[in-house]
Structure 1
Amino acid sequence: MRICTITVRAGSKGVPGKNLRVVAGRPLFGHSVAQAVASGLFDEVVVSSDSEDILALAPSFGATGVVRRPPEMATDTAGKVPAIAHAVRSTEERTGARYEVCVDLDATSPLRTVDDIRIAVRMFEDADVDSLITGAEARRNPYFNLVEEQPDGTVAVSKAPDDAVLRRQDAPRCFDMNGSIYVWRRQALLEEQVVFFSSTILYEMPADRSIDVDSEFDFRVVEWLMNQRADL
């Protein structure tokens, strides 16, 4: 059995109230809920939040359950993965079921398509791995043109290779995590509560579906892109 969580905090410093702001006809978080439902993959689609407004709206986009996120898991410094694990455990207690594949869709990354979800889950289930993440090819490569500051104020390539990389195309491929889709084995998620394992794999998405809303500029870009799409 599979479960999909959408974990949505009420607060946001970068874009206040962003998850309830309307974009392309829905509150931002509602797109992720509707995509999960439309994929047809999940036995439960659950919204976890500390916002009563978000919890009240979630069923209107197809959520089959809601989970009140504990205050200690809803602070600016709290990690997201413990909230996902809490939502899975809470749903298992409510339904009596056991969800062996646990998927989380980030509410602030709504540019994914339903097919992205289906492909990512199929890729995960076809592999013997503990987790899958999504990302887009990085615009800056740490072996070539991403630099970091040294203690003396100078800068150097972040990951100095053994042999000089003269062209970006010759550097190892690197990716920006886009926070769009996460997939775990139940045991790995609930016992470890981390994203990365030695077996973690990546589903690559294009840059135009990989923008995470973390600023007003991001919100405007996502809003424009979503208003151009016909699959919403």
Structure 2
Amino acid sequence: MTDKAMRTIAFVFARGGSKGVPRKNVRQLDGKPLIAHSIEVGLATPGVETVIVSTDDAEIAAVARAHGAEVPFLRPAELAQDSSPEWLAWRHAVSWFQKERGAFDCFVSLPATSPFRAVEDVTACIEKIRQDPATDAVITVTEASRSPYFNMVRLDGEQRAEIVIQSGTGIVRRQDVPPVYDITTVAYAVRPHFIQSAERLFDGRVSAVQVPVERAADIDTEYDFRLAEAIAAMRREARKETR
């Protein structure tokens, strides 16, 4: 699969029942609904055939269509609960597509909660899958600001703290710890057959693409949304200065 184009389909999974930020997927950020940022990057990514939104919500579906995505089905209610594993929503979407439109080679998930991703981030994930047939999935990561070897602790029943991972080497500076990374929601590229056969992402061989922290925002709380609004304002000002 390294010498031919892959049939690549992008998906955005967006439930209507968000509790951390109610109705966040259709809330305005930088002049457009949050979900539109993911749709637009998907549509702009070379090689992506279409962007499909999986949602249980009629308003999200209408907004998604207005911004160029397809919403050819509504996600079953049992796959749209707070406790529903997103892996099962992925599997449902893959099954629908394969039944209705045939086989494809690369499944890309672009979570609506990551509005600052770049096309190059998504392209890098797809390319990593294309180049390595042994890779089942590609995730995006950014360098972690804290380390379980140095400044992350766990508490016992009496609230006594200890470092999460004891190195045994007397690490006293953050610069000396092994590098660790945060998983981001910028993009996931996965082989469809792996989604159908595995029970979770890390059951397979997972590779990573590192993205800069300024493109790795993940909106899960009201504070996150306010921070994203501030970042969007800074980006607008930066664009003005370069004109």
Give TM-score, length-normalised by structure 1.
Answer: 0.93
Query: Is the CA contact 1:33–1:63 (under 8 Å) kept in the aligned structure 2?
Result: yes
More displaced, 140-149 or 196-205?
196-205
Task: Work out which of the residue numbers 89, 95, 120 in structure 1 matches 2:125.
Answer: 120
1:14 alignment partner, SS class = coil
1:67 alignment partner, SS class = coil
2:106 aligns to what? 101
Query: Is the CA contact 2:121–2:186 (under 8 Å) kept in the aligned structure 1?
Result: no
1:161 aligns to what? 167
1:55 aligns to what? 61
1:177-212 CA distance string (max 9 Å, x none) = 122211111111111141213521111111111111
Q: Which runs of 5+ in 1 are unaligned?
A: none
1:58-84 CA distance string (max 9 Å, x none) = 222221443311101111111111101
Task: Work out which of the residue numbers 85, 93, 111 in structure 1 matches 2:91.
Answer: 85
Going from structure 1 to structure 2, the CA distance change for 1:198 and 1:87 (only over 3 Å counts) comes to closer
TM-fit CA distance, 1:38: 0.5
Percent of paired sites with the same residue: 32
- Match runs of 1:181-220 below 5 Å: 181-220=187-226
Q: Distance in 2 between matches of 1:93 and 1:59?
A: 22
Give TM-score, length-normalised by structure 2.
Answer: 0.89
Q: Is 2:147 the counterpart of 1:174?
A: no
Query: Is the CA contact 1:32–1:107 (under 8 Å) kept in the aligned structure 2?
Result: yes
Q: Distance in 2 between matches of 1:67 and 1:182?
A: 21
Q: Is 2:25 the counterpart of 1:19?
A: yes
Q: Distance in 1 between matches of 2:148 and 2:72?
A: 41
Query: Is the CA contact 2:137–2:204 (under 8 Å) kept in the aligned structure 1?
Result: no
One-letter amino acid of the structure 2 residue matched with residue 214 of structure 1: D
1:75-106 CA distance string (max 9 Å, x none) = 111111110111121122221x2112111011
Query: Is the CA contact 2:8–2:108 (under 8 Å) kept in the aligned structure 1?
Result: yes
One-letter amino acid of the structure 2 residue matched with residue 20 of structure 1: V
Going from structure 1 to structure 2, the CA distance change for 1:223 and 1:67 (only over 3 Å counts) comes to farther
Q: Distance in 2 between matches of 1:59 and 1:8?
A: 13
Q: Distance in 2 between matches of 1:99 and 1:165?
A: 48
1:7-48 CA distance string (max 9 Å, x none) = 000011111110010111211011101110011221231100
Q: Is 2:35 the counterpart of 1:29?
A: yes
Q: Distance in 1 between matches of 2:73 and 2:201?
A: 21
1:176 alignment partner, SS class = strand
More displaced, 192-201 or 164-173?
192-201
One-letter amino acid of the structure 2 residue matched with residue 119 of structure 1: A
Q: Distance in 2 between matches of 1:23 and 1:121?
A: 27
Q: Which runs of 5+ in 2 are unaligned?
A: 1-6
1:139 aligns to what? 145
Q: Distance in 2 between matches of 1:140 and 1:15?
A: 25
Query: What's the Cα RMSD here?
Result: 1.5
Q: Distance in 2 between matches of 1:150 and 1:124?
A: 42
Q: Is 2:135 the counterpart of 1:129?
A: yes
Q: Distance in 2 between matches of 1:123 and 1:166?
A: 36
1:134 alignment partner, SS class = strand
